[in-house]
Amino acid sequence: MNNKTTQNMVIQPVILSGGSGTRLWPLSREKYPKQLLPLIGDDSLLQATVRRVEGIAGVELAPPMVVCGEEYRFVIAEQLRLLGQPGTIVLEPIGRNTAPALTIAALAAIKNGANPILLVMPADHVITDIAAFQSVVSQGSLLAAEGAIVTFGITPDAPETGYGYIQAGATFAGQADPAKPTSARLIARFVEKPDAATAQTYLDAGSYLWNSGLFMLRASVWLAAIGACRPDILAACQTAWDQGSADGEFVRVNKEAFANCPPDSIDYAVMERIAGATGSDAVARALPSGVVIPLTAGWSDVGAWDALWQVLPKDSQGNVAQGDVLLEDCRNTLALSEGRLIACVGVSDLVVVETADAILVAHKDKTQDVKKIVDSLKKQGRTEGSIHRKVFRPWGWYDSVDAGERFQVKRIVVKPGGTLSLQMHHHRAEHWIVVSGTAKVTKGDEIFLVSENESTYIPLGTTHRLENPGRVSLEMIEVQSGSYLGEDDIVRFEDVYGR
């Protein structure tokens, strides 16, 4: 490898954490999507994405950069903190698809004259063979360092109709180190999700790979490519970035400027212009080489419950059971309980998922249609499609235990040092009972402590705040009463989290 390639071999993980994963309802919901859930092991999918790049030989690894919506910022910050990798969290005020998201990430990466290799990864994928993944990333880094745009195509093992495909072309000759040949091929073309017959021809041909959405490229290379192909996207993102601001580990772009950015994907905006370029197009001639490296590493996009069943460990009858589950004479069934007992008898190819406020029962062949249930819930104005009963906040979480006419009961847990906003309500009063820990309460002009087995009452219209000054979690029960109990009946006066 030449010295130029060796220098500045810094890989910047860029994790794109958009999407709501509606086909994994009722676990995945709009306000708490699948990438934040521990679907495989103890780590969330996002945390697993961060971990899988640790220990890549021969490169310097920068702290992770996550691009996400503002509403997920505190949960993602906490998940990165638990990994010991605070990183940078770039906030999108509105979703604009992956091309603008990567453009903002590239602009963030080149500050102070840096030009790292971006390793772009969706936050919600599963890869079980980490060694194989890191091997192809090492190959890709050599090519990206030279200026190529690298993507990784999944070696297909079935005529899958749910994925787009990449047709691999001729062997790519522009390798930085001839002594370390790669399996890179020029990208011939991208093709959309095929029907079953076409997918079988792709599998038989042997030159087609599943489109994974994984990329490697220099930050400057992406900015040049998006500028050549979609100057409108680059201009909007540049303005949004220039008018943005930093807030601790959070980086905010200007909302109005970013809202004016046209939405587009990485594939449509740039990659399809690169694929099979003939050189007759002036824009295509200005673009870098587009190459694909085959990847066989136990990859799945976990797009629906049947895909999750495929990657989870199974018993001798092909069943997956998580939580409080009893199975009798069942086959090829996924049963997942978050609390209540699930008992299945004599069933095959079913998906049964239990949460505190919803239960899904579906045939494994119909899990793509779960999205229709979520659409129906939204049309009916029901909250089960968007939020869980247990709702996470930057200070901790609450669980709506019970509700009825003019009352609601919540279990509230405030982490050490957590502080709720200084607020008041027009339509409800609140009674707080401390179960464990100590609460620091502001009520009007009073400030006092409430300890275990003690309580306080917050009258309607009274300014109040709840804090946890201790070193252990504060757990309490809140009983609300009044004519309207919605979460939008909050008037905030001060909030340390900037909400």
Distance between CA atoms of residues 221 and 117, nearest Å: 9
The β-bridge partners of 423 are 464, 492
Distance between CA atoms of residues 494 and 114, nearest Å: 38
SS3 category, 195:
coil
Residue 309 burial (CB < 10 Å; 0-12/13-18/19+)?
A: buried
Distance between CA atoms of residues 122 and 14, nearest Å: 8
**Inter-axis angle of helices 231-242 and 98-109, nearest 10:** 50
> Is residue 86 located within the same domain as residue 224?
yes
Residue 134: its H or E element: helix 130-146
> Is residue 116 located within the same domain as residue 230?
yes
The β-bridge relationship of strands 390-393 and 396-404 is antiparallel
> Is residue 30 located within the same domain as residue 171?
yes
pLDDT at 57: 81
Is the previous residue joined to 13 through a cis bond, with omega within 30 degrees of 0? no
Q: In this structure, are residues 124 and 33 in contact, taking their beta carbons and an 8 Å threshold? A: yes
pLDDT at 474: 98
> Is residue 336 located within the same domain as residue 452?
no
pLDDT at 19: 77
* Residue 29 φ/ψ, nearest 5 degrees: -135, 165
Is 48 among the domain residues? yes
Q: What is residue 29's DSSP assignment?
A: B
* Residue 412 φ/ψ, nearest 5 degrees: -120, 130
Q: In this structure, are residues 154 and 229 in contact, taking their beta carbons and an 8 Å threshold? A: no
* Residue 289 φ/ψ, nearest 5 degrees: -70, 140
| N- to C-terminal Cα separation, the chain | 50
* Residue 37 φ/ψ, nearest 5 degrees: -100, 145
> Is residue 320 located within the same domain as residue 217?
no
Of the three residues 331, 366, 401, the one that is the final residue of a domain is 366
Of the three residues 300, 315, 342, the one that is the final residue of a domain is 300
* Look-up of token digits 């998006």: 226
Residue 451 burial (CB < 10 Å; 0-12/13-18/19+)?
A: exposed
Distance between CA atoms of residues 37 and 28, nearest Å: 8
> Is residue 352 located within the same domain as residue 469?
no
Sign, CA torsion 281/287/292/293:
positive
> Is residue 141 located within the same domain as residue 193?
yes
DSSP state letters, 316-384: TTS-EEESSEEEES-BS-EEEESSS-EEEES-BSEEEEE-SS-EEEEEGGGGGGHHHHHHHHHHTT-GG
Q: What is residue 133's DSSP assignment?
A: H
Distance between CA atoms of residues 352 and 78, nearest Å: 30
Distance between CA atoms of residues 8 and 179, nearest Å: 20
Domain boundaries, position 407: 390-494
Is 378 among the domain residues? no
CA atoms within 13 A on the CB side of 346: 0
> Is residue 350 located within the same domain as residue 406?
no
Is 384 among the domain residues? no
SS3 category, 222:
helix
- Split into its structural domains, the chain has a count of 3
pLDDT of the chain, 499 residues: tens digit per residue:
344 444 457 999 999 998 778 999 999 999 899 999 999 989 999 999 999 999 888 889 999 999 999 889 989 999 999 999 888 999 999 999 999 999 999 999 998 889 999 999 999 999 999 999 999 999 999 999 999 999 999 999 999 998 999 999 988 876 555 555 568 999 999 999 999 999 999 999 999 999 999 999 999 999 999 999 999 999 999 999 999 999 878 999 999 999 999 999 999 999 988 886 544 455 555 678 899 999 999 999 999 999 999 999 999 999 999 999 999 999 999 999 999 999 999 999 999 999 999 999 999 999 999 999 999 999 999 999 999 999 888 899 999 999 999 999 999 999 999 999 999 999 999 999 999 999 999 999 999 999 999 999 999 999 999 999 999 999 999 999 999 998 889 999 998 887 7
The β-bridge partners of 409 are 402, 479
Residue 290: name the closest of 140, 146, 184, 149 by CA.
149
pLDDT at 162: 87
Is 377 among the domain residues? no
What is the value of pTM for the model shown? 0.89
CATH number of the domain encompassing residue 482: 2.60.120.10
Residue 391: its H or E element: strand 390-393
Q: In this structure, are residues 468 and 417 in contact, taking their beta carbons and an 8 Å threshold? A: yes
Is 454 among the domain residues? yes
Is 292 among the domain residues? yes
CATH number of the domain encompassing residue 79: 3.90.550.10
pLDDT at 1: 39
> Is residue 193 located within the same domain as residue 85?
yes
* Residue 35 φ/ψ, nearest 5 degrees: -65, -15
> Is residue 214 located within the same domain as residue 262?
yes
Residue 469: name the closest of 430, 437, 422, 435 by CA.
437
The β-bridge partners of 264 are none
> Is residue 125 located within the same domain as residue 165?
yes
Is 426 among the domain residues? yes
> Is residue 291 located within the same domain as residue 328?
no
* Look-up of token digits 């990206």: 144
CB atoms within 10 A of CB 217: 28
Is 379 among the domain residues? no
Distance between CA atoms of residues 65 and 47, nearest Å: 12
**Inter-axis angle of helices 219-229 and 231-242, nearest 10:** 130
